[in-house]
Structure 1
Amino acid sequence: MLKIIETERLYLRQFITEDASHFFAMNNDPEVIRYTGDPPFTNQDAAHKFITNYDAYAKYGLGRYAVIRKEDDTFLGWCGLKYHPDKRVVDIGYRFYKNYWNKGYATESARGCIQYAFNVLKYPSLVAHAAVNNKSSHNVLEKCGMDIVKEIDYDGQRVLLYKLENSLYDLKNITAEDTWPVRHPVLRAGRPLEDVYMEADEKESTFHLGIYFKDQIVGVASFMKDHNPIFKGVQSRLRGMAVLPEYRKRGLAAMLLKRGEEILRSKGQDVLWFNARIAAVNFYKEQGYTTFGSEFDIPKVGPHYVMKKQL
């Protein structure tokens, strides 16, 4: 039994097969699943199959967790995190036996999960979804400091989308030299430090962005004026985008890109283009960029595509 999180009254652990009976019972209470959009399990075997097939811990390093009361090891419900690879975001969710509602357990466990996601897993933000009429869930999320973003359709129902930013992160303008601790190990590993320098780094029109976790710089990107003859308009080029390996798949690169695009628009730029490594092409497509021409090779670096977005 692997405990993940501890709070004053509770501990949260990974699911075990014995939890199947609780999942079956909770999901067969119409009041418990009223706002979830989930159907009840057809039988105990279906609940058991769900538990045994639950692979989020191994796949993403996080998941939903059983909420256990410390004083008597009672199973109260579940609370935890869910990674959405298509959007590269993590949501927080919870579900409890009706007998344990209105006792602060949902808020306490959710706060524990938020601290775990921000301090240990180092995610820059969390989202949550609560059905429009689910006032109890809104209260929990608001007590946890989450803010309403907008009303959306989610899993076939109207919900309020909530979001909470991790205050341990700071995205700011930096110098070219500040980018080196990330550029060098990620983009120029095994090569001399001077290889991280780019000719346009010190130009007045160039700006560099960095994301810090606490006091450590963990992601960087540089934006510089550069004209590609295959495109029209006032152009800038992205170079040196990099995130340290232990901070990847957390949405940091998208944050850097979004901030850079905002700055470029404010400066009257029309186009952002760059040479994208093959491994990153799908990520940039998700951000609205398009490939142009054929694959080509950059010596000592590898195969690339030219990519572009109209700002």
Structure 2
Amino acid sequence: MHYGHPIVQPARVIRTARLTLLPVGLENLADLERLKGDPRVFSTMLHGVRSPERTREELEDDIDFWEVRGYGTWCVFRTEDGAFLGICGLMERPDGRGVALRYALWPEMRGHGYAREAAAAALAFGHRVGLDRIIAVARETNLASVAVLETLGMQPCGDFHNHGHRMLVFESLAPKAG
């Protein structure tokens, strides 16, 4: 199987029962342009659907973010056949709310538990690398995303309005040692 990714630091690769999460790289640009340019996937995301140019800029930023922070965005692949399913990751929100879990999968991949599996792995990774609090934001009307966050054990901790939509904020706190 080929996941379109060169050698990466193994500690950054996540393998779950069905998925392989690899840190984003330039070799993923074509997949990301398709995903981020698709309104079925990105119309509800912060800043909406991306142009190819904006996708490239974000990818370069995501690569740099990994180098600086030691966490970031992964491309999500189905392990059995190497199919690109979408993205999942941890990013600093531009509104100052904190480090946020985010995920976006192809619509045809929804309903199989892939988002939950990838998000759970990313959340665990974030806490393992020292993030005490990780948030997630979902539109109130995005019931599938809200259900994933609740299933992960994330707790509601606020809301805000963005472009006429009520956004729900959830949080995950790292388990206390001892």
Alignment match, 2:169: 161
Change in CA separation of 1:88 and 1:34 when aligned onto 2, cut-off 3 Å: closer
Mapped to 1, the partners of 2:120 and 2:61 lie a distance apart of 27
Deviations 1:229-282 (A, max 9, x none): xxxxxxxxxxxxxxxxxxxxxxxxxxxxxxxxxxxxxxxxxxxxxxxxxxxxxx
Q: CA deviation at 1:70?
A: 1.0
2:107 maps to 1:108: no
Alignment check: 8 A CA contact 1:37 1:156 kept:
no
104-113 vs 85-94, which deviates more?
Answer: 85-94
Alignment match, 1:72: 81
Alignment check: 8 A CA contact 2:139 2:167 kept:
yes
Q: After the TM superposition, which segments of 4 or more aligned residues of structure 1 sit over 6 Å from their partners?
A: none
Tell me which of the two structures has the higher relative contact order, counting C-alpha pairs closer than 8 angstroms and 6 or more residues apart: 2
Q: CA deviation at 1:123?
A: 1.7
What is the TM-score when the length of structure 1 is the normalising length? 0.50
Q: Which residue of 32, 41, 44 corresponds with 2:41?
A: 32
Deviations 1:96-155 (A, max 9, x none): 111211111000001101111122x12212111001111010011011001111221357
Mapped to 1, the partners of 2:169 and 2:57 lie a distance apart of 30
Q: CA deviation at 1:85?
A: 8.6
- Ranges in structure 2 where 5+ consecutive residues have no aligned partner: 1-5
Q: Which residue of 92, 101, 107 corresponds with 1:98?
A: 107
Larger Rg: 1
Alignment match, 2:160: 152
2:42 maps to 1:8: no
1:155-234 matches, within 5 Å, as 157-167=165-175, 169=176, 214-215=177-178
Q: CA deviation at 1:29?
A: 2.1
1:265-280 matches, within 5 Å, as none
- Higher normalized strand content (fraction of residues): 1
Give identity over the alignment, percent: 26
Change in CA separation of 1:49 and 1:114 when aligned onto 2, cut-off 3 Å: closer
Aligned pair count reads 168
Q: SS of the residue aligned with 1:72?
A: coil
What is the TM-score when the length of structure 2 is the normalising length? 0.83
Mapped to 2, the partners of 1:117 and 1:16 lie a distance apart of 19
Q: State the Cα RMSD in Å.
A: 2.2
Mapped to 1, the partners of 2:154 and 2:120 lie a distance apart of 11
Mapped to 2, the partners of 1:29 and 1:48 lie a distance apart of 15
Q: Which residue of 73, 80, 92 corresponds with 1:83?
A: 92
Alignment match, 2:65: 56
Alignment match, 2:150: 142
Mapped to 2, the partners of 1:75 and 1:32 lie a distance apart of 14
Change in CA separation of 1:145 and 1:40 when aligned onto 2, cut-off 3 Å: same
Mapped to 2, the partners of 1:155 and 1:116 lie a distance apart of 32
Mapped to 1, the partners of 2:94 and 2:34 lie a distance apart of 30
Mapped to 1, the partners of 2:94 and 2:137 lie a distance apart of 17
